[in-house]
Amino acid sequence: MTHASGDHFPIDLAWGALKANKLQTVAYWSAFLTFGMCVAVLGPTVLDLGCITKSTIHEMSWIFVAQTLCTLLGSVMAGYLANKLDPNSMLLISTVMISVTMGLVPFCNTWLQLFAVFVVMGLFMGQIDTVANVRLLQIYGSLVAPFLQALHFSYGLGAFLSPILAEPFLLNEDCSSMIEDMENKNMTSHEAKQLHDAKKLSNVGDAYFVYAAVNVPVIVLILVALFVDRASKRNTPLAAKEGKPAPSKEYVELAEHHIDSSDGESSPPSSGEPVAQREALTTVSIVLVALTSCLLFLGDAAQAAYGEFIYTYTQMNQKVELSSSAGAYLTSTFWGAFALGRLFSIPLSTCISPAVMLFFNLTGSGSAVVLFFFFRDSIPAIFASSAIYGLFLSSIYPSAIALAEQYVSITSLMTSFLVMAAATGEMTSPVILGWTFIEFGASSLIYYELINGIIALTVLVIIVTIGFRAQPRERRYQSSDYQYQRLDDNPDY
């Protein structure tokens, strides 16, 4: 299969671009691993944190909401600041603050202290989300698809590893009933002893120290990337003058070869300040970004709803006899397949266009929901459909951004808007589905996912139709941010 407009994806240029920017790229991938761990850290540790801070599950649920809201706010802030501050410096500060907040969690003895720590953590999570996406778009331009897939695989891997790191330290005891009795002054001496023992026996604080320590190598890597980037600018007069990192000599030679072999129709990717940020937005670009935001909203809503409620579905469905431990394995099956799907998407994105990838994503995930619908009471079918669903949902986010990049030069503010739309879907879908579970029962999960998929497929068709009629940008397989110069035209290289 080929990419849009019949162009084959230039793997040689993509590989050359990676070699020219390998340190920064690996740093962004590593930061997204941290981001994924932060997103998934609260879920498995919430019961122990509730016992330690003497908070009920209902009270702890507000920390989930606050963290997501602050991730949204942090993303918006990063979209604005990315044009004014050095993105690598922003990423360094954010990862440092992630480690600091992780390290502060064990010292929180009250709900308010814990709330404040996760609010600050959320702000810097949002900045990592926006900055990493923006920088990869700036560096690789229309070559970005496999690099975005790898970025979001790192997120999935972090989310998958997070519960595994936490599990040895957890007591997993719900203290809500004892805390409610304490607040109502009905606590018995036996309950008081149970609560005291739970607080004493839980080692959840050590889990957060481990998270903080795991993040230290990421901080070091980003720090090295920052120094190398600044040294490169100092050593290259043209790049330093214009604030653009220069491509390596090896990469420029490779790009020149690609131009010669394609009759001068393509230009090489590089890195620096996006040209599109100085261009006026057209109506078509605004519409395409809005539609892409809608697609991201739907994709993340489906992902969050299924990941959070498939366990609840098995417990509420009287015809499904599944133990609580097996239900936990079901959730892990979904997230494991999700991470695996993002890994497979890295090579696939070099031979399949983002539009085709998204079509497979949505039809494959829709097939999984149909399987779930017809065999909703069968445990093997639920496990199979969960694995298939996670596998096909996995690359919607990076593929949607890569598709938008084919038609619009994505700026940092646009990226912030896209990230905000996705996070809004992730935040609102559990609230909506929680209400439908109460009103209509557990099967509402199936109908929610099915309707979501139909709307998403419709949005995809509209995006591709508008993008095709508006004519894609001339700069196919060219970075969105660098005015290329040949070696013989620029002696600084």
What is residue 176's predicted lDDT score, i.e. its pLDDT?
57
pLDDT at 96 over 90: yes
pLDDT, tens digit (0-9, with 9 covering 90-100), for 339-370: 889 888 888 887 888 899 999 999 999 999 99
Average pLDDT over residues 407-415: 77
Average pLDDT, the chain: 77
Span 76-86, pLDDT tens digits: 888 788 778 88
- Specify the higher pLDDT residue, 165 or 490: 165
> Which region among 97-106, 303-312, 475-484 has the lowest average model confidence (pLDDT)?
475-484
Joined together, the tokens standing for residue 206 give 């050590």
CA neighbours within 13 Å on the CB side: how many for 31?
35
Q: Report residue 223: phi and psi, to 5°.
A: -65, -45
Highest mean pLDDT among 119-123, 268-272, 340-344: 119-123
Mean pLDDT score, 246-261: 48
Distance CA 413, CA 229 (A): 23
For residues 370 and 389, give the distance between their C-alpha atoms in angstroms, rounded to a whole number: 10
| pLDDT in the model for residue 295 | 94
Q: Per-residue pLDDT for 72 more than 50?
A: yes
Q: How far apart are CA 399 and CA 234, in angstroms?
A: 35
Task: Compute the distance between CA of residue 202 and CA of residue 197 in angstroms, rounded to an integer.
Answer: 8
Q: How far apart are CA 265 and CA 474, in angstroms?
A: 9
Residue 294 amino acid letter: C
pLDDT at 216: 93
pLDDT of residue 181: 56
Angle between helices 111-140 and 57-81 (to 10 degrees): 30
Angstrom distance (rounded) from CA 19 to CA 304 = 35
Average pLDDT score over residue span 186-202: 61
Q: Is the pLDDT of residue 385 over 90?
A: yes
- pLDDT exceeds 70 at position 134: yes
* Closest of 425, 173, 454 to residue 307, by C-alpha: 425
In this predicted structure, the answer to whether residue 6 has a pLDDT above a threshold of 70 is no
Q: What is the DSSP letter of 83?
A: T
CB-CB contact of 174 with 47 (8 Å): yes
From residue 455, give the alpha-carbon distance in Å to each of 68, 293, 307.
24, 13, 20
* CB-based contacts of 265-268 (< 8 A; 24+ apart in sequence): 265/476, 266/7, 266/10, 266/13, 266/476, 266/477, 266/478, 267/475, 267/477, 267/478, 267/479, 267/484, 268/13, 268/16, 268/17, 268/478, 268/479, 268/484
Whether the per-residue pLDDT at 186 is higher than 80: the answer is no
Print burial letters for 395-428: b (CB count within 10 Å at least 16), e (below 16).
bbbbbbbbbbbbbbbbbbbbbbbbbbbbbbbbbb
Residue 241 has pLDDT above 70, yes or no: no
State the Cα–Cα distance between residues 78 and 131, nearest whole angstrom: 7
Check whether 481 has a pLDDT greater than 50.
Answer: no
| Tokens at 309, concatenated | 């409620």
User: Which amino acid type is present at position 311?
Assistant: Y
Residue type at position 3: H
Which pLDDT belongs to residue 192?
58
pLDDT of 439 > 80? The answer is: no
pLDDT of residue 163: 77
Alpha-carbon gap, residue 233 to 228, rounded angstroms: 9
Average pLDDT estimate for 390-413: 84
Identify the pLDDT of residue 63: 84
The radius of gyration of the chain from alpha carbons, rounded to an integer in Å, stands at 24
Q: What is the pLDDT of residue 485?
A: 34
Closest CA relative to residue 271, chosen from 132, 457, 54, 479: 479
Q: Can you give the pLDDT at residue 220?
A: 93
The confidence band for 312, taking pLDDT boundaries of 50, 70 and 90, is confident
Output 489 or 17, whichever has higher pLDDT. 17
Per-residue pLDDT, averaged over 2-10, amounts to 53
Dmax over Cα atoms in the chain, in whole Å? 84
Mean pLDDT, residues 236-265 taken together: 47
Task: Report the pLDDT averaged over residues 46-53.
Answer: 81
Does the pLDDT at position 460 exceed 50?
yes
Assigned token pair, 49: 């944190």
Q: Which pLDDT score is estimated for 153?
A: 87
In angstroms, what CA-CA distances link 126 with 132, 211, 231, 416?
10, 18, 28, 9
Give the CA angle between residues 472, 298, 66 to the nearest 5°: 120
Question: What is the pLDDT confidence band of residue 92, given thresholds at 50, 70 and 90?
Answer: very high
Q: 0.85 cut: is pTM over it?
A: no
Q: Residue 197's CB: how many other CB atoms inside 10 A?
A: 13
Write down the pLDDT at residue 199: 63
Out of 104-108, 140-144, 171-175, 244-248, the most confident range is 104-108
Is the CB of residue 202 less than 8 Å from the CB of residue 52? yes
Asked if pLDDT for residue 270 goes beyond 50, the answer is no
**Residue of higher predicted confidence among 450 and 228:** 450
Straight-line distance from the first to the last Cα atom of the chain, in angstroms, rounded to the nearest whole number? 36
CA atoms within 13 A on the CB side of 313: 27
Confidence at residue 88, expressed as pLDDT on a 0 to 100 scale: 86
Q: What is the mean pLDDT of residues 296-302?
A: 91
Rounded to an integer, the average pLDDT of 209-227 is 91
* pLDDT value at residue 183: 55
